[in-house]
Structure 1
Amino acid sequence: MFICFMCSIEKANHQDLIHHYKTSHNLGHNSIYRCAQSNCFRAFQSLRSFRRHIVSHNVSDRNIYSELAPSLNFNTDNMIENYNNLDITDNTQDPCNVNACCSNLQPTSESFSKKNENVRKSTAAFALSLYSNPYLNRKCAMKIIDDVSELVTGVIGTMLSELSPNDDTPNKNIVEAISNSFDGLDTESKVIKYFSDRNIYTPPKKFTINENVTVNTGNSTVMLRPMLETGAIVPLRAVLKQIFELPNFLKCSTSIPDVQSISNFTQGNIWKQKLVGKMDENSLYIPYFLYFDDFECNNPLGSHAGIHSIAATYYTFPTLSADHASLLENIFVAMLHKSSSKSHGNASIYYELIKELKSLEQNGIDLEISEGVSKVYFILGMIIGDNLGLNTVLGFAKSFSSNYYCRICKAHKNIMGKQCKQDDGLMRNRHNYNTDVEINNVTTTGISERCVFNDISTFHVVDNFCVDIMHDIFEGVCHYDLTHIIVYFTESITLFTLNNLNNRLQLFDYGSGELNDRCGIIKHEHLMKSKFNMSASEMMLFVHIFPLLVGDLIPEDDEVWQFFLTLLEIIDILLCRDIDNSTLLYLEALISEHHESYVKLFHDTLKPKHHFMVHYPHVIKQVGPLRLIWCMRFEAKHKQLKRTASLITSRKNLPLTLLIKEQLTLAHRLYTGKGCETRIELGTRISEPLNIHDYLKDVIISDDVNLANSLNWVYYNGIKYVPGMILVISNRTCYNFFKIKFICVSSSSNNIYFLTEQIDCIGFNYHLQAHQLHQRETGLYRLIMPQDLIYAPTFCHIISNGDSYCRIKYI
């Protein structure tokens, strides 16, 4: 019998007792329960823990049978004694061979311990997945764990305990494993301790930026109370060791393609200079980038906008392949602090971070990987970000109307307004930089303070050749240029109206792969302000399709259209992932021509973002393709932190709260062992297994490829492929175009194949900067795998005269 500790009433089983507590005494999940069984006076802080305890007081089966024996007219003692006297070697006395069956079912203590540990690991993984879920705050995660724990250990565990015998049997062990599955994981602190003890979760640390005092009034008294401005930082040494011991992560970070053109940061001049004197054959040197930027956590239009703005420091590894470097999970958070703390200076903010970075460069990390122990040194390659963020962190002028705002050269703003080529004699170097720091006059030098990151031996700010084509081109130059161009065509010579352009824009066939990237309507006030209501990705798409929108309405000899085509060629080169020396010379000529035409045609001065373009060819030589250092993916990383902040009502220590969430997310990745792997998401099957041999009759096909399932779509490394898309394969002389007929996945290896039909290419139309295609059935089929593609899938677009054109772009 089970006794209520409040009214001493007796209940037949513990379920009735718990029901009595809820209905008669209004006790809930978090009430205090006391055990009133004989010789037990324990108190429990929750119903879940009390339920687990009260089950242990369950009366044994033998005692129950002994109590019921008089009414049932049989003696349990005699039954047990008679069974014990059975001759188990005589099958006539044990016809069901119970002992043999039980001995086979009885698990060893070692096997049960292993299974029990597997249950614990699965429960821990479940708890960690909730804490790392980007759509749940930690309080909600804890509530879900409480509810699931009560269901599993309470309801299900209780039901199984009633069905299991009382002695040490497999069912008894299973009940114990289920009932104790959430032990040690029932609070957030216990979950964090569980993974911290296993070196999976690395907690962030608080650091002090500034100490101050504040006035506190209360009870008619005025008191001075100390106030600390703090930030949150990740212990990089421990975290980098965990990251690079993930499967294939180190391999993906050190496998650089062997090509003659520049395709990676390590092929630039800056990295070669950093490695001078560090060529130890037994060690690895891995570059990393730091990124600095601010993001708004609150409603940007609300009354509290800007109060809790956060300054974020991210780091990433430029040697990762493009497929993996673009993943947000491979952009890691190093430090967070409030933007308002910048008033205390960079030295106090980044002191702890710089100390960590110097240790990584000088001492390195010993990685334990499958090949053995490897010594790895991490070297700061570049500090990247948008123009304002970089000028602030690196100690340059924060105003772009100042006399010397450029980080790369010392040209005056009056010169920059008309400068079309880089002046090598005005480039910043270590000598004139040190002189300018000593002068300590931002008006005449453009330097507000010495860069604190110069304390790192392999880094100097004048060698930090960073430009951002996302903000410079797609949120700057494209807006300036296209507003002038559209005003010229719609108002100056009136080849078409703004309504005509908007109609074509809305009716344009983007294709099923780009439905999420439609461009919005252009209004007249946008043209007057030289600013479209478009994001960087929308502007990139708008420029890409603009020739197909209105190119057929414009004469081929129009000089403004030639100016636009020059801009288009510049953008196509900047988006390339590998660039050779001849292309760099051509890019330099295009930028010079573009700037001269801009000043001549529109009678306007060049803007600061125009000026940064003159340094692009030189920067590419130093650090590699500019697409690898733009801010596009880092801006997307902001969204993750903003989403987490929107789930949190408290703003007491927001940087630490956000960083704890990021570390829990990283811990979940470490726990599941997710390294660098190909990401494939399959659509639904649309037909019976496809016999590819019917299309490729003269080609020898392996059994893996021959019979495959046809799908309606597939995501491969974040890119969606659907039937009807155009794939582009190029060689040194021409481009070949193929339309996807079927998307196939082999039934044995899950490899992806595109069964395509080749399309005739009539030629390249320079006026539209597009290839004209003849869409007819050629009967020429080819099997293409997605990993062989370097150009993004696209679609054929039909212009007003009925011709089909296709513009290509890099993945």
Structure 2
Amino acid sequence: MGLNENILKEFIPEAGVTKSTPDVATGTFEVDNSAGLQVLKVVPVSDSNVPFEDLQTTPSCNPFDDLDTSTSCNLSDNDLDEDYVPTPKIRKTSLINAATPKKSTATGSSSKRRQPSGIPKHILAYRALEILKKLDLKAYLLDDVCSAHIVRKFDELGGLSESDRSTIVNVQQNFYCQLLQCSLFSPPTSVQRNFTGKLPNRIRNIRYWLSKSGGSITTSASTSSCVTDCSEFTEPAELKGTTDRNDADLSDAINSLNHTSLDSWPVILEHWSTTHTLRRHELENSTTGVNEYRKWDVLKTSNGHLLLSQDFNELYPGRENLLISQWALTRKHIISLAKRDTPKTDLETRELIERVDSLPEGQQQDILVLSILVSPCCKRGRGNSGVALPLPSTARKAFIIHVKTANDVSRTLREHVATLRSKNQSFQPSIVVVGPSLAEISASYVQIDDERYHMRTPLAAVDTCFKAFFALDAKYPTDAYPHPENNPEAHPINVPNEQFDQRDNLGNNADLIDNHDNAVGAAVNYEHPHQLSVEEFKLALYKSSLSLSARLYANPALNRTRVQEILDLTSDFAGAGFLDILKTKTLSMLQDYNGLQSDVDDLKLMFESMQSSLEGLDTEHMRMNALRDNKCYIDPKQFYIGEGETFKYVNGQKTRVPIDLHGQYISMPKVLQCFFSLPGVFQSTIDYVEKLKTSQDFTNIIQGQLWKSIEERLFVNRQVFPLVLYFDDAEPNNQTGSHSTDHSLGCLYYFIPCLPQHLLSQLEYVFVAAVFLTDHQKRRNSETFRCVLNDLKKLETEGVEITGGLLTLRIFFAVVLIIGDNKGVNGITGFTESLRNQVNYENDLLVNDVSLSGIKRECVWNELGSYHCTNNVSFDCMHDFYEGICHYDLSIILLDLIENNFFSLQTLNERVQFFDYGLDSGNKPTIITLEHLRREKFKMSASEMNCFARNLGLMIGDLIPEGNVCWSLYLKLISILDIVTSPFVDTTAAPYLATLISEHHEIYRNVFRKTLKPEFHLIVHLPRIMGLIGPLLHVWCMRLEAKHRPVVKINANSQPCRNNLPLTTAKRYSLSLAAKFLSAQSFPDSIVFHSEESLLENCETYQSLQHVLPNSYLACSQNVKICGTTYEKEMVLAVKYLNDLPVFGKIECFVKPTVNTDMCFFVLKLYLTNGFNEHMHAYDVTVSEDWPFVSYPELLSFYPTSCRTGSDGLSYVTFRHTL
């Protein structure tokens, strides 16, 4: 057993005066190199009988030789197996002061002492300690009666009790006291500054010898401890030339490690191996392993983790590849263990196990296997000390930190460090994986202190992190231990101030190549705040100021003049003088605490920078240039439409003069390139597309026949996404004012229909292509849309390149639909009315008579390879149903019912006004008048008409006798709406839909004697159109019309000027895009829980529902937002089918998982469905005593609804689409 600091601690006293032992003499040490072996002799000054005279320095390889006397040892049966790798040594405190001490003076030194050799002191100390470490203590322990049986017990059991360890310590003390020819002493009752006694005198003499030879021994005293390094001494006379030469080589190796480039990596590896023992000695005698880690600059390079792995190989040779080589067998054992020992209440781990079984062997399965290992290793309840044991979710996060997007890595780590510090814990080497879910990991990292190493696979990250714990003598995270009370302290690696750099935007596109073989890895460097330079601070301040400017420009309610005023006021505020007061106070405190002058000067410059925080961004021109430099601002381009005329005063007379007509367009390739370069956007989109291709449910346009034909015809073996164009006129002025049509803008928008479904309704993912005055576009489609057509052709043939890291992708885009109201779409496609096919379209073009053919001009969009106006047909439910057919049908139905005295108009309005709309309360219909009914036009928006039509059955159904032929028209209409507004398409229901439409038209013509309107002709084609393009709900104009508000209306209202309104509108939109691209934010989280959470056992209804809950320690939330839909208590959800009827449940509470926050569970109070009331078009339900516990994916439909009480006292549930 070697002499180490823990052994010294047991017999070197704490601060105080020693006991006097006059019968013991002092002695000297010398090293005998005869016979090729180093032998340490202790030669007493007054006695020639030397105990332990021939202690030979044979190193021991028994595990007992490295026994740590400062802590308990808990070893399992496998600890002494040949493949066992012991845990890192764990120490309570450090006894060695790493700082180089000042030379102490002593009297009585010999004039024959050798002068310092010039070799660094710490190397000489290290060489001296190596001699002492080779003393064989085990032989002495076996000879001692008290300790011999303890050694044998350790060999048999692999562990020691506390009493046995105390005995070993006492034997060690006796051994070293005899060796040093001195005796123990105990601390006094009062602290004294001068120590007396044999041992302190002996240490002073040794320290004197080392000071003469260039070595050192450090003694530091305080009120609580006397720390003495007795390991760094040797006889200077015995330092031979060979030792000097080896020590000189060691010194050269140390210098080279901090001044060597990566180009000479083999040299670095050689020097790193040479210095291993010295670095190990310094690490073992350091209170914080991180200080030793930071001193080696070579560890901060991209290859630093390889050096830590080499240290592990030096400590445990032959075991460096055990994890990788035996992983296949280990993986099977982990899966078997998890299936057997994971509790049924651990739903998250159970789900992970199911996902493991469904995945093939590979990287995706590996990370899931490592994650499920946590649950069977975690005990439930509390430990022996009464401390709550970690939940599997907490332990899993301590083991592997999962981040959804690379852009959030730094923020997540900062939050993790803050959480650890709140628990008085330190940040240790950690594994970080990046991906939308644990089954979709795109990048793996190992975070050590402030260095982040990019690893090739998650398994490689685990292997590297494991080796780093041993190489750095770090401690495992507390939450990763199954028994926290048995987790002793070790060298903590503390991350200062949680300053994980926010600038490391690792574009997720770099992580798309899962099989990318990057053996070296890549470290992401960032600075500590106390090391932050003035220039770096100025850069951070500049970026923050630019972000502030972009966010102000993105607010449509602020015109650019107001933005300038706000920034000017901000600049004046920063220079108002309060920063001078703060600077004076801060600098004064630094001087009082003897702060470094360089730090004081840097702080002065930083305060001066804050006073001029907008320097370089003072004017709009400078801000625009800054945004362009950051490649986030796309300048609108002016395009020529044609010539027009206006009136101007020439020489005092009003004269008609010609002018050029222009519009503005924003480059579509640049916008799409910037958008898909945002972190996680491309990966999330392509994952969703692949999911759709393998899904059996028809829910998206890319699953339709139209897109499949385009893809097969033009884009074989190329990555292509569809585009949908939307055109409409927007009125910036008051629509009822005198200038209501003077400045109407034609707006061409586009969106990507294959984005994740819950994002399609968010306006920020609808982009502006072109803006122009409506009057300028008339009869000039070719000129008006020429720039957009050129961009679309380029997107079809050339695509855009997206570069991230080592990856470059080319993505193509193709127009699949052009949508809008009938007037807008027919106008830009050259039609007047009616649908046709490609053959009769060509014939009508040859006729060249609009009165006969209905074709005004050839469709300019037919120039695109993916589009033809007769093939790429669409239908808009908003305009054709809620602003068309519903008005025609409901007006004549209600008028007929009123005239037949089933109810009065007053009764109708009372039912409308006092109806319980529930979730639709924001779309409450307005008062109905006879004029509305006779004109067949209600004063309702599309959303209000949708609400009115769906709830009309519950409003007045009880007043109408069953079988009424007039009411049957309403039932046909609402049945058609249920199908065409469904989020999925049932292709087998196409004949049924065609029958419903035919019967609807027959009743409308025969019963009410009405002629069919154009919208009635359009819906005849719905079964065919839905088979081509999928659910109409995802391509209707309801949300797209809302884009007019931020782009046109709010922007126009913020400024009175209407000169060149298209340019103003395009610039403001480009600035809003710049703010989005500058923020580099990915898609929002799909699940967001309410901030106020509580334990389930504290919920009001816990007693009623506890029997369905896995445990009472789960958190419940007030509400939750999932995929853009907010769910609250009392809402009703469709859960499942039972006896061919949907089963509903009322939400009682939301359960937040402890592990996977991408999952939400609902505790529901179940309704039993008695049947479907066709007359009221609602489900008749009654409350049951069942309380199902349902996860979000298990729901029959994701749309919430309400349960209402009808006039007959029964409970009814209406749903927005067919189930």
Q: TM-score, normalised by structure 2?
A: 0.53
Corresponding residue for residue 605 of structure 1? 1011
Corresponding residue for residue 908 of structure 2? 501
Separation of aligned partners in 1, 2:736 and 2:645: 31
Corresponding residue for residue 452 of structure 1? 860
Q: 1:223 to 1:781 in 2, by over 3 A?
A: closer
Within the candidate set 973, 976, 980, 1:567 is matched to 973
Alignment of 1:662-677 (within 5 A): 662-677=1069-1084
Q: CA deviation at 1:261?
A: 4.5
Range 238-247 or range 388-397, more displaced: 238-247
Partner secondary structure for residue 773 of structure 1: strand
Q: 1:370 to 1:266 in 2, by over 3 A?
A: farther
Corresponding residue for residue 766 of structure 2? 331
Q: 1:172 to 1:689 in 2, by over 3 A?
A: farther
Within the candidate set 184, 188, 194, 2:620 is matched to 188
Within the candidate set 732, 743, 749, 1:308 is matched to 743
Q: 1:124 to 1:748 in 2, by over 3 A?
A: farther
Please tell me the root mean square deviation across aligned C-alpha atoms, in Å.
2.7
Q: 1:149 to 1:747 in 2, by over 3 A?
A: farther
Q: Does 1:246 align with 2:678?
A: yes
Partner secondary structure for residue 1004 of structure 2: helix
Within the candidate set 1213, 1216, 1219, 1:806 is matched to 1213
Corresponding residue for residue 725 of structure 2? 290
Q: 1:745 to 1:664 in 2, by over 3 A?
A: farther
Q: Deviations over 1:471-505 (max 9, x none)?
A: 111111011000111011110x2111111111111
Q: Which amino acid aligns with 1:656?
A: L
Q: Deviations over 1:296-317 (max 9, x none)?
A: 1111111111010000000001
Preserved contact between residue 316 and residue 332 of structure 1 (Cα < 8 Å): yes
Q: Which amino acid aligns with 1:145?
A: L
Q: Does 1:343 align with 2:778?
A: yes
Corresponding residue for residue 707 of structure 2? 271
Q: Which amino acid aligns with 1:300?
A: Q
Preserved contact between residue 442 and residue 448 of structure 1 (Cα < 8 Å): yes
Partner secondary structure for residue 790 of structure 2: helix
Q: 1:471 to 1:217 in 2, by over 3 A?
A: same
Q: Which amino acid aligns with 1:266?
A: I
Q: Which amino acid aligns with 1:113?
A: E
Q: 1:107 to 1:580 in 2, by over 3 A?
A: closer
Preserved contact between residue 1130 and residue 1146 of structure 2 (Cα < 8 Å): yes
Q: CA deviation at 1:607?
A: 0.5
Separation of aligned partners in 1, 2:541 and 2:627: 16
Q: CA deviation at 1:770?
A: 1.2
Corresponding residue for residue 766 of structure 1? 1174
Within the candidate set 598, 621, 637, 1:205 is matched to 637
Preserved contact between residue 588 and residue 614 of structure 1 (Cα < 8 Å): yes
Q: 1:635 to 1:786 in 2, by over 3 A?
A: farther
Corresponding residue for residue 543 of structure 1? 949
Partner secondary structure for residue 661 of structure 1: helix
Preserved contact between residue 483 and residue 531 of structure 1 (Cα < 8 Å): yes
Q: Does 1:155 align with 2:562?
A: no
Separation of aligned partners in 2, 1:107 and 1:798: 63
Preserved contact between residue 709 and residue 747 of structure 1 (Cα < 8 Å): no
Structure with the bigger RCO (C-alpha within 8 Å, sep 6+) is 1
Q: TM-score, normalised by structure 1?
A: 0.79
Preserved contact between residue 210 and residue 344 of structure 1 (Cα < 8 Å): no
Q: CA deviation at 1:655?
A: 0.9
Q: Which amino acid aligns with 2:1077?
A: L
Separation of aligned partners in 2, 1:289 and 1:756: 39
Quote the sequence identity (%): 33
Within the candidate set 649, 668, 671, 1:236 is matched to 668
Partner secondary structure for residue 533 of structure 1: coil
Q: 1:216 to 1:698 in 2, by over 3 A?
A: closer
Q: CA deviation at 1:717?
A: 3.6
Q: Deviations over 1:690-724 (max 9, x none)?
A: 468866656673x8x9421431x444343332211
Separation of aligned partners in 1, 2:577 and 2:921: 48
Within the candidate set 821, 831, 834, 1:386 is matched to 821
Partner secondary structure for residue 983 of structure 2: coil
Separation of aligned partners in 1, 2:1194 and 2:548: 34
Separation of aligned partners in 1, 2:1108 and 2:1094: 23
Q: CA deviation at 1:280?
A: 3.8
Q: CA deviation at 1:205?
A: 1.0
Q: Which amino acid aligns with 2:1007?
A: L
Separation of aligned partners in 1, 2:1069 and 2:1179: 45
Q: CA deviation at 1:112?
A: 3.6
Q: Deviations over 1:83-142 (max 9, x none)?
A: xxxxxxxxxxxxxxxxxxxxx999877644333322221121111111101322221121
Preserved contact between residue 454 and residue 460 of structure 1 (Cα < 8 Å): yes
Partner secondary structure for residue 771 of structure 1: strand
Q: Which amino acid aligns with 1:200?
A: C
Q: Which amino acid aligns with 1:228?
A: D
Q: CA deviation at 1:775?
A: 2.5
Preserved contact between residue 684 and residue 756 of structure 2 (Cα < 8 Å): yes
Separation of aligned partners in 1, 2:950 and 2:1113: 38
Q: Does 1:136 align with 2:558?
A: yes
Q: 1:517 to 1:109 in 2, by over 3 A?
A: same
Partner secondary structure for residue 1084 of structure 2: coil
Range 202-211 or range 249-258, more displaced: 249-258
Q: CA deviation at 1:682?
A: 5.2
Preserved contact between residue 1096 and residue 1113 of structure 2 (Cα < 8 Å): no
Q: Does 1:624 align with 2:1030?
A: yes
Higher-Rg member (1/2): 2
Alignment of 1:363-442 (within 5 A): 363-369=798-804, 372-397=807-832, 405-406=833-834, 408-409=835-836, 428-429=837-838, 431-442=839-850
Corresponding residue for residue 1001 of structure 2? 595
Separation of aligned partners in 2, 1:592 and 1:752: 43
Q: Which amino acid aligns with 1:759?
A: Y
Preserved contact between residue 296 and residue 310 of structure 1 (Cα < 8 Å): yes
Separation of aligned partners in 2, 1:240 and 1:771: 45
Within the candidate set 771, 787, 793, 2:1200 is matched to 793
Q: 1:610 to 1:223 in 2, by over 3 A?
A: closer
Q: Deviations over 1:275-321 (max 9, x none)?
A: 2344543x301110111110111111111110100000000011123
Q: Does 1:533 align with 2:965?
A: no
Give structure 1 stretches of 5+ with no counterpart.
1-103, 398-404, 410-427
Q: 1:507 to 1:659 in 2, by over 3 A?
A: same
Separation of aligned partners in 1, 2:628 and 2:699: 39
Q: Deviations over 1:451-481 (max 9, x none)?
A: 1111112211111211111111111101100
Separation of aligned partners in 2, 1:237 and 1:343: 27
Preserved contact between residue 216 and residue 223 of structure 1 (Cα < 8 Å): yes
Q: 1:186 to 1:752 in 2, by over 3 A?
A: farther
Partner secondary structure for residue 602 of structure 1: coil
Range 328-337 or range 730-739, more displaced: 730-739
Preserved contact between residue 696 and residue 782 of structure 1 (Cα < 8 Å): no
Give structure 2 stretches of 5+ with no counterpart.
1-495, 498-527, 589-596
Range 547-556 or range 524-533, more displaced: 547-556
Corresponding residue for residue 522 of structure 1? 928
